[in-house]
A and B are shown apart, each in its own frame.
Chain A
C-alpha cells in the first residue's frame, strides 16, 4: 500500500469505530498482540482489547481515556519515547523496539513494538501504527541466564583463586609435617628404633605424596585461571636433555631400568619456557620409569621443519606395561591414570600428564601418546623451537609423528640399529628422499622392541655395537616367530659374509655405505620381497602351517593366531595387509573376531578373507556381510587360486602405489 493510498484512507481509520470491514474488525478485536494507532503527541487514536489488557486496563475505552501522554505514563525510561520518535524520523519503521513500561497498577513489564509511520501528502507524520507484544517472560529468562552466567564465571574465578591461595596455605603446615618426620626418623635411626623408623617413613612418604598433589592442583588451578606465565629463554637442547637425564636417572633406575638419551646432530637451540619443557620431560620420564621394570627408557629429540616453523619433537619411549587404546585415549585427562587401581599400585598423583599437556599447549605445542599393551608406550611432545606469544596455532600431532619421523603409513619403514649417530643421519637423509620412513636406535634391545611394535619392512643392523652386538640382535630377530620374516640387512666394516648368511642375514652391505647401492638393496626388500603381512587366524595347526608355508614361499610375512582372541592380541601392535580367517574356532570364533576387528578404526580397511570348511548358511552370510571381503570354501580352491585371491585383495587394499624410484 503506497503512502498516497494510506493517506486517502486516513479519514476512515481516524474514526473511533476503526476498520469498517467486519473481518478486519474481528482480527483487530481478537488479536493476541496489542494493536494501536497513536498521534505524534502521544495519545491513542485506536487500540484493541489485547493492548488494553497488556497495559493492565479493563477496556479499550479505559486505556484511551487513562493514557493521555504515552511518553510519561507508559515508558519507564523518560527518554524512551524521544528515542522512538527519533528512530521513526530516520527510518519510518522500527522492529523489536524493546522497553520496560508501567502498567496501570504501577507494575513494570517489558514490551516489544513493531511500528511504522503514516505520513500525509506533505510528508508530515499523521500517526503511528503498530503492534505490541508482552516479552516479560523472555526478558526475565534472559536476565536469569545472564545472572547465572556471571555467577558461574565469578564462581570459577574465585574457585581458581581460592585453590591457588589454599594450596599455598596447605603447603606451610605440610612442610612442617614432612620436615619433622624426616627429623624424627633421623633421630630414631640414631637411637636404633627400627619400628619408629618404618612408621615415620610412612608419614614422610604420605606427606610428600600429598605435597605432590597440592602442587599439581595448584598448577592446574593456575592454568585454568589463566595465571600460568611463560618465561622465555634460549637454551641448548642437547644440554637440556643431558641435564634432565641426569636428574631423573635415579628414579628410572629404581626399577632396574636403563635410561638412554638419543640426540640427533643439528638439534641446536630452543627459545621457550625452559622450566615447563623440563617439567614436562620429568613427568614423562618419571611416568615411564614407574610403569617399566628392568627395561629401557629412551629419551630422544629431533628437529622437524614445517613450511614456516621449526618444531622440536621430544619422545619418551619405554618397554613397560603399556596401555590399551581406550586407556591411552583418556590418559591426559586429570585424575585418570589408565585405571583407578593404577594409583594404588604405582603411586603418583594422576595429574602429571594433564599438567604436561597443559604446559605444552601453553607454549604452543601438544603432547600425545601411542601405546601397546604389554609392549610399551611412546609419549611425544611437539613444541615450536621458538615460542611466539601472539597468534600461535596449537600444534597438531598426527599419529605418524609419534613413531617414524617422516612419511605416511603406506611408505615402507626401515628400522636402523646402529650405535653410530652419523650413520643415523646419513641413512635418514638417503632414505627420506627416496620415500622410505625410518626409525633409528643405537641399542640392540631397543631395536628388538621397536621391531616387534612397528613390524618394519626391513631392518638395517650394524655388527659392532656396545652392550648387545649385531650378531646377538640378529639371532634374536631370527628366533622370534613374529620377527623372523623381516628381512635383515647387515651393515658393517668387517667382511664376514659367510657368518652372516649362516645366521640368516638377507643381505650384506659394507661401510662406508654408498647411496645408490644402499637404496637399491632396501628397495628390493621393500617393494618385492615383502608384498605384505598376513595374519592367519586358524585353530587347526596343520591347516595353519600349510597356509603359512604357502604364503612365506611367496615372500609374505605371516603372523599366526590360534583363535579370535589371540588374533586380537596380535593386532594390538600391527596392522596387517590382510587377514585370513577360519570361522569355527575355540575361545572366539571368526564371526566375533571379524566384528571386533571392524570396530577398530586403524583396521577398518584391512581386507578379511574367510577360509572355512563350514557350510555357509544364508544367516552366516548376512552376519559376515560388510565385514569380510571374500568367503572361500576349504578344499574347493588350490594353492594358486588362494594366492591369486590374496594378491588381488592386497592390491586393492593398498591402492596407493609404493613410491617409485627416483
Chain B
C-alpha cells in the first residue's frame, strides 16, 4: 500500500483529500505546515508527498527545497498543489524541486492520475 504524505493547512481540504485518497487504498500521513512536512518526510519516508504551496511557518517551496536537500528523502517525488492556474506558478513549483504540479480546486481523477504516474516513475528508477 503506497504511503502518501499530505502537507496541507486548510482543514477541509486536508480532510477531504485524505478520505478520498484512503478510499483509493493509499495510506495517508498528515502534516499541517511546511516544517512539520519536512520533519515527517525525514522520519516516515513516504512514497510520495503532496505539497500545498501556501503553508504557514514554512511555505511549500521552501519545504520542498529542504526535503530535496536531504539525502534520505530527496528521491521522494513531490507533487505541488498551487492555487492559481498561472503559467508562473508551474515554473516556481518545478524550480523548487517539485516533480509535478496540479492546480486547486482539485480534479480528483486528474490528481490520482498524476500520483500513479509519479509512483510508477519512482518505482522504475
Q: Which residues of A contact B (CB under 8 A)?
A: 168, 171-172, 174-176, 178-180, 182-183, 186-187, 211, 229, 231, 273, 275
> Can you pick out 29 interface pairs between chain A and chain B where the beta carbons lie within 8 Å of each other?
A168-B83, A171-B83, A171-B105, A174-B105, A175-B12, A175-B13, A175-B104, A175-B105, A175-B106, A176-B12, A176-B13, A178-B105, A179-B12, A179-B13, A179-B17, A179-B20, A179-B108, A180-B12, A180-B16, A182-B20, A182-B108, A183-B19, A183-B20, A183-B23, A229-B86, A229-B88, A231-B88, A273-B87, A275-B87
Tell me whether A176 and B16 are in contact in the complex, defined as CB-CB below 8 angstroms, given that A182-B108, A186-B23 are known contacts. yes
Contact A172 B108 (CB under 8 A): no
What residues of A have a CB within 8 angstroms of the CB of B88 in the complex? 229, 231
CB of A176, distance to nearest CB on chain B (Å)? 4
Query: Which residues of chain A are within 8 angstroms of B106 by Cβ–Cβ distance?
Result: 175, 179
Number of interface residues of B (CB under 8 A): 16
Question: Apart from A179-B20, A187-B23, A229-B86, what are 10 other A-B pairs with CB-CB below 8 Å?
Answer: A168-B83, A171-B104, A175-B106, A179-B105, A180-B12, A180-B16, A183-B19, A183-B23, A211-B105, A275-B87
B112 at the interface (CB under 8 A from A): no
Measured CB to CB, the nearest residue on chain B to A233 is: B87
What's the least CB distance linking B64 to chain A, in Å?
22
Least CB distance from B83 to A in Å reads 7
The verdict on B122 contacting chain A, using a C-beta distance below 8 Å, is no
Asked whether any CB of chain A lies closer than 8 Å to the CB of B69, the reply is no
Q: Which residues of chain B from 8 to 37 have any CB-CB distance to chain A below 8 Å in the complex?
A: 10, 12-13, 16-17, 19-20, 23
Residues of B within 8 A of A176 (CB): 12-13, 16
Q: Which residues of A contact B83 (CB under 8 A)?
A: 168, 171
- Which B60-103 residues sit within 8 Å CB-CB of chain A? 83, 86-88
Nearest neighbor of B20 in chain A, beta-carbon distance: A183
Q: Which chain B residues have a beta carbon within 8 Å of chain A's beta carbons?
A: 10, 12-13, 16-17, 19-20, 23, 83, 86-88, 104-106, 108
- Minimal beta-carbon separation of B85 from chain A (angstroms): 8
A contact face: mostly helix, strand, loop, or mixed: helix
- For A174, the chain B residues whose CB sits under 8 A away are 105
A residues near B105, Cβ cutoff 8 Å = 171, 174-175, 178-179, 211
With CB as the reference atom, state the residue of chain A lying closest to B104: A175
Total cross-chain contacts (CB, 8 A): 41
Nearest first, the 9 closest Cβ-Cβ pairs linking A and B are: A231-B87, A175-B105, A179-B16, A176-B12, A275-B87, A183-B20, A180-B16, A183-B19, A183-B16
A267 CA to B16 CA in the complex, in Å? 45
A182 to B17, CA, bound (A): 11
Cα separation A661 to B62 with both chains bound (whole Å) = 71
Q: How far is the CA of A251 from the CA of B17 in the complex (A)?
A: 26
Chain B residues with CB under 8 Å of A229's CB are 86, 88
CA gap between A172 and B104 in the complex, in Å? 9
Q: How far is the CA of A175 from the CA of B105 in the complex (A)?
A: 6
CA distance A231 to B85 in the complex (A): 13
What's the Cα separation between A178 and B83 when bound, in Å? 16
Q: Within 8 Å CB of B10, what residues of A?
A: 172
Contacts of B16 in A (CB 8 A): 176, 179-180, 183
Closest to B105 in A: A175
Closest chain B residue to A231, Cβ basis? B87
CB neighbours of A182 from chain B (8 A): 20, 108
Q: How far apart are A433's CB and chain B's nearest CB, in angstroms? A: 42
Nearest Cβ in chain A — how far from B51, in angstroms? 17
Cα separation A172 to B23 with both chains bound (whole Å):
23
Report chain A residues within 8 Å CB of B23. Answer: 183, 186-187
Q: What CA separation (Å) do A14 and B83 show in the bound complex?
A: 82
Residues of chain B within 8 A (CB-CB) of A172 are 10
Chain B: minimal CB distance from A512 (Å): 47
In the assembled complex, the CB of A416 is this many whole angstroms from the nearest CB of chain B, namely 39
User: A165 → chain B, closest Cβ, in Å?
Assistant: 13
The closest CB in chain B to the CB of A275 belongs to B87
In the assembled complex, how far is the CB of residue A217 from the closest CB belonging to chain B, in whole angstroms? 15
Closest approach, in angstroms, between the C-beta of B8 and any C-beta of chain A?
12
Bound Cα distance from A179 to B14, whole angstroms: 11
CA distance A423 to B41 in the complex (A): 60
B104: A residues at CB distance < 8 A: 171, 175
| In the complex, residue of chain B having the shortest beta-carbon distance to the beta carbon of A232 | B87
Q: Quick one: closest B residue to A175, CB to CB? A: B105
A273 CA / B86 CA spacing, docked (Å) = 11
Most chain A beta-carbon contacts within 10 A, residue among B12, B13, B105: B105
Task: Name the distance in Å between A174's Cβ and chain B's nearest Cβ.
Answer: 7
Considering only CB atoms, which chain B residue lies closest to A187 in the complex? B23
A171–B83 Cα distance when bound, in Å, is 9
A622 to B108, CA, bound (A): 70
A300 to chain B, nearest CB (A): 26
Contacts of B13 in A (CB 8 A): 175-176, 179
Assembly CA distance A182 to B109 (angstroms): 11
A277 to chain B, nearest CB (A): 12
Instruction: Report the Cα distance A172→B87, complex, angstroms.
Output: 20
Chain B residues lying within 8 Å of A187, measured Cβ to Cβ, are 23
Q: Which residue of A lies closest to B109 (CB)?
A: A182
Residue numbers in A under 8 Å from B19 (CB-CB)? 183
Residue of B nearest to A180 (CB): B16
User: How far apart are the CA atoms of A172 and B10 in the complex, in Å?
Assistant: 9
A264 to chain B, nearest CB (A): 28
Query: Which A residue's beta carbon lies closest to that of B10?
Result: A172
B48 nearest CB across to chain A (Å): 20
Q: For residue A178, which residues in chain B have a CB less than 8 angstroms away from its CB? A: 105
- Looking at A174, A179, A275, the one whose CB has the most chain B CB atoms below 10 A away is A179
The smallest beta-carbon distance between B59 and chain A, in angstroms, is 17
B23 and chain A: residue at smallest CB distance: A186
Taking the closest CB of chain A, its distance from the CB of B111, in whole angstroms, is: 11
Q: State the CA gap A174–B104 with chains docked (Å).
A: 11
Q: Across the two chains, which residue of chain B brings its CB closest to A178?
A: B105
Q: How far, in Å, is A378 (CB) from chain B's closest CB?
A: 29
Q: Which residue of A lies closest to B91 (CB)?
A: A231
A179 and B105 alpha carbons, distance in the complex (Å):
9
Nearest to A179 among chain B residues (CB) is: B16
* Chain B neighbourhood of A168, CB < 8 A: 83
Complex: chain B residue closest to A172, CB-CB: B10
Chain A residues positioned under 8 Å from B20 (CB to CB) = 179, 182-183, 186
Residues in A neighbouring B108, C-beta threshold 8 A: 179, 182
A171: B residues at CB distance < 8 A: 83, 104-105
Task: Write the nearest CB–CB distance from B107 to chain A, whole angstroms.
Answer: 9
